[in-house]
Amino acid sequence: MAEEKATNPVEETTEATQETKVETPVQDPKEFLENFDWEKYEQGIERVEDSKLQEFETLVAENFVDTADEEVVEGTVVYLTDREAIIDINAKSEGVISLNEFRYNPDLKVGDKVEVLIDIREDKSGQLVLSHRKARTIMAWDRVNAAHDKEEIVSGFVKCRTKGGMIVDVFGIEAFLPGSQIDVKPIRDYDQYVNKTMEFKVVKINHEFKNVVVSHKALIEADIEEQKKEIISQLEKGQVLEGVVKNITSYGVFIDLGGVDGLVHITDLSWSRINHPNEVVELDQKLNVVILDFDENKSRIQLGLKQLEKHPWDALSEDIKIGDKVKGKVVVIADYGAFIEVVEGVEGLIHVSEMSWSTHLRSAQDFVKVGDEVEAVVLTLDREDRKMSLGIKQLTPDPWTDITTKYPVGSRHKGIVRNFTNFGVFLELEEGIDGLIYISDLSWTKKIKHPSEFVTVGDTLEVEVLELDVEGRKLSLGHKQTTENPWDKYESEFAVGTVHKAAITDIVDKGATIDFNEDITAFVPQRHLEKEDGKKVGKGEEAEFKIIEFNKDFKRVVASHTAIFREEEQRNVKAAVKRQAASADEAKPTLGDANEALQALKDKMEANSKK
């Protein structure tokens, strides 16, 4: 009975197998495994014919993976959980792979074919553990090299940022994507690419260090180059194109015209003056521009934005005319003046000479600064050349209108030293009224080589009007004229022949100088320093000096020490001569005396000859 019971299942199984053979020439191994009772087979309860076992082994060899052989095989995703993927590789059981290994492929779905490597044949729960990452790593290097050699496009997963670029997972290899190779336009936000799958081209491989460099920019450059050639061939001056702001610099804006870049210079962005292009445009902004010019190769394209708008001068009111008062804002200050924006895009120049009635020119910054709202008078207006000159001083009366009444010749006033030159000092009597004091009119007595020796800028001086030129708008002033000329009294005090006692102040090349007082400095020639004993008066030595020359006009005084004792000698000589002459008259010799004298002289000569 037991044998019958034991054989009946086998016979049933055999019949089932035969029936299956009739229905299906080749039995499905999976179906066989699912229906076969391995426990009964191992206990010997259920027997299988050798031919059937052989047939099964053949089916297994043809359809199932040898899990002992660590080769990369292809599997199918049969189920997905929140954290894992169940993969069928035609083994005894499905394998499990963490979804982290598919980060590069966020679109993984059931039915997808994936490469796997058997990591663990059976874990503690008897589960087959597979690795997609290891399988990709084994195959990656060959695939990367093939893609590089064939210049194929590869798909990669951007893992993270790094210095200078991004790290990209390509076939399981970490490749480097330089920042300059992400796109044809500058990248401002690198983080937007992290955790994204993109297409790349393998541009460089270092076999020694296993380094791979990829580029996304290379993929779009070819298309852009074609577009660029097409766009360039159609470029014409005056053509209006749509573009996108690609980059903003201090000198202008680069516009992407669809593969071709053009530059809008800062002066062509707006009819109004601007300090920086970002006042007008912003990055990634779409706008229309007009082609102004380009070089022969059309590689440098000059664009304009303001040219698409009507020129502000064309819209300037016809009511504005010379002599009208206008208001505007100071937009630019230069050394020579300030530019005032009367209306948007229309500017007028206020020259520094039109800022004040003063003839002494100053910097425009002394009167206005950028941003000031000012009122001015239109002096000239040329609509054809689009030029306008303005004036501020015209808003106040011209101080020279009644100049002869306020500053007649001979009148005295006080003014402020504004500037000086080698020949004189510029004095401001009031706003718009300047006068010149020549260096010779600063002091009666001091010999001034430069005005800075006498005054400094900002000093207040009292002056007298010497000359007035109304047409030439010139005033000649004098400072010394406000005081009495001390040389008038010195002319008698230091008259020629007068003697004064003083010490030598300094020794110079041709003589010496003496300071008789704070005004009078006399010169003593070298030969007039000699004393009676033949020596010369030295520096600091006090002696008497006689004035031998006095010139009030040239303020020249010459003195002499030698003349004092030489004059005494001359007087003594004259007195001796006079006395001798008187004595001679009293004792004139007679003729007899003369003969006696001659005979005595003759005897003396004869005696000498005998000796």
Q: What is the pLDDT of residues 425-469, one digit of tens each?
A: 999 888 888 899 999 899 887 778 899 999 999 999 999 999 998
- The three-class DSSP label of residue 363 is coil
* Interval 482-503: pLDDT, tens: 888 877 788 888 888 898 989 9
The pLDDT of 554-564, averaged and rounded, is 87
Q: Which of the two residues, 417 and 296, has the higher pLDDT score?
A: 417
Q: Which bin fits 397, alpha (ψ -120 to 50), beta or left (φ > 0)?
A: beta
Per-residue pLDDT, 6 = 42
Per-residue pLDDT, 384 = 84
Q: What is the band of 587 on the pLDDT scale with cuts at 50, 70, 90?
A: low
Per-residue pLDDT, 281 = 92
Q: Span 312-395: which CATH code? A: 2.40.50.140
Q: Which of the two residues, 66 and 188, has the higher pLDDT score?
A: 188
Please list the residue range(s) of the chain that carry CATH number 2.40.50.140.
Answer: 73-136, 151-220, 234-308, 312-395, 403-482, 487-566
Contact 301, 260 (CB under 8 A): yes
Pairing verdict, β 346-351 and 387-391: parallel
Torsion angle in degrees (nearest 10) through CA of 29, 31, 33, 37:
-140
Q: Give dist(CA 382, CA 320) in Å, integer.
A: 11
- 426, with CB counted inside 10 A (0-12, 13-18, 19+), is buried
pLDDT surpasses 80 at 399: yes
Per-residue pLDDT, 16 = 42
Amino acid at 536: K
Percentage of the chain lying above the pLDDT 90 cut: 19
Pairing verdict, β 424-430 and 113-120: unpaired
HSE value, Cβ hemisphere, 13 Å, CA-based, for 320: 23
Per-residue pLDDT, 59 = 57
The pLDDT of 147-166, averaged and rounded, is 88
pLDDT surpasses 60 at 287: yes
CATH superfamily placement of domain 234-308? Nucleic acid-binding proteins (2.40.50.140)
Contact 392, 326 (CB under 8 A): no
pLDDT surpasses 80 at 272: yes
CA angle 63, 65, 67 (to 5 degrees): 155
pLDDT surpasses 60 at 22: no
CA distances from 265 to 19, 186, 237, 301, 444 (A): 88, 19, 16, 11, 64
Instruction: Specify the residue for token string 């499990």.
Output: 96
* Interval 335-390: pLDDT, tens: 889 999 988 888 899 999 898 887 666 788 888 899 899 999 999 998 888 889 99
pLDDT surpasses 50 at 18: no
Per-residue pLDDT, 4 = 41
CATH architecture entry for 73-136? Beta Barrel (2.40)
Residue-wise DSSP of 283-309: TT-EEEEEEEEE-TTS-SEEEESGGGS
Across the strands, what pairs with 377?
325, 391
Per-residue pLDDT, 263 = 92
HSE value, Cβ hemisphere, 13 Å, CA-based, for 344: 7
Task: For the sheet with 556-560, list strands across it.
Answer: 499-503, 542-551, 556-560, 521-525, 511-515, 506-508
Per-residue pLDDT, 362 = 72
CATH architecture entry for 151-220? Beta Barrel (2.40)
Of 29-43, 235-249, 347-361, 565-579, give the range with the top mean pLDDT. Answer: 235-249
pLDDT surpasses 50 at 5: no
In this structure, which topology does domain 403-482 adopt according to CATH? OB fold (Dihydrolipoamide Acetyltransferase, E2P) (2.40.50)
Q: Give dist(CA 126, CA 109) in Å, integer.
A: 25
* Interval 242-264: pLDDT, tens: 999 989 999 999 998 877 888 99
Per-residue pLDDT, 36 = 60
Of 117-121, 151-155, 204-208, 415-419, give the range with the top mean pLDDT. Answer: 415-419
Per-residue pLDDT, 303 = 93
Pick the CATH number of 487-566 from 3.40.50.970, 2.40.50.140, 3.60.15.10, 3.30.420.40: 2.40.50.140
Per-residue pLDDT, 68 = 44
Mean pLDDT across the chain, nearest whole number?
80
pLDDT surpasses 90 at 476: yes
